[in-house]
Amino acid sequence: MILLFTDFGLSGPYTGQMKAVLASHAPAMPVIDLFADAPAFQPRLSAYLLGAYRGAVPEGGVLLGVVDPGVGTDRLPLCVRADGRWYVGPDNGLFELVVRRADSVEAWTIDWRPGVMSASFHGRDLFAPVAARLALGEPPPGTPVPVERIRRPDWPDDLDRIVYVDVYGNALTGLRAAVLGDGVELEAGGRRIARARTFGDVPVGEAIWYENGNGLAEIAVNQGRADGVLGLKVGDEVGVFGTRK
């Protein structure tokens, strides 16, 4: 299958145009919207989100990732193979946490170009055709590059920021819950927040942080919106009080 991870949104033509290209090149291949609302223009924040959700990509599957504010510049277009899964998109750090947490990684620049390519829509014109080819079992149309060339070694393993706000107003951080001790409190919106196992462990209206279904530390309000109650937004810093593992 092919999974989409973009900041395009589902309104407007952008996601639909990419899906149309995928359908024309690989009509029998399922295409799944994993995220259409990744942090807009922010590949670094998006990288920590994608790092946690990389398990959605099945072995042999392809993730087409487009959070690409530098589209049309000299940033490289990439194919990455990490633990038997393909990632196609820009060389701007979007795949850093996927690469960092993988046991086996290979990388290629994309040298192929279509006959006509927009300077501002490589997702449709360049990345989508390449993703379709890889999903069909074709080799990457480019040149191998050392993995170190695409790395961001100065980025931390876990990011003390909010990287996503979901439909319920829950705020996902770039912190893996597994690296935080049970007694750790998070600070967000000027408030200290204790850990709980699930929403119903606290009264309605109370804020908690918990390990979400993909391993991230997530801030929520039981039957309420954490973004509204605490005034949270993507990119906000999160304080960590207590011992990290």
Summarize pLDDT for 4-37 with one digit per residue, the tens. Answer: 999 999 999 999 999 999 999 999 999 999 999 9
> What is the pLDDT, as a whole number, of residue 245?
80
Instruction: Supply the pLDDT for residue 244.
Output: 85
**The tokens of 100 are what?**
């960092």
Q: Given this model, what pLDDT does residue 118 score?
A: 97
Four-residue CA torsion sign, 69, 71, 77, 83: positive
The domains spanning 2-150 and 159-241 adopt the same CATH topology? no
The reported pLDDT for the residue numbered 182 is 87
pLDDT, residue 199, reads 97
What proportions of the chain, in percent to the nearest 5, are helix, strand and coil?
A: 25, 30, 45
The list of the chain residues with pLDDT below 50 reads: none
The predicted pLDDT at position 10 comes to 95
2-150 folds as: Rossmann fold (3.40.50)
Helix (H, G, I), strand (E, B) or coil at 56: helix
Distances (CA, A) of 75 to 93, 109, 110, 216, 232: 11, 10, 11, 29, 32
pLDDT at 208: 98
| Domain ranges across the chain | 2-150, 159-241
Q: Right CATH number for 159-241 from 3.50.50.60, 2.40.30.90, 1.20.1260.10, 3.55.50.30?
A: 2.40.30.90
- Specify the pTM: 0.96
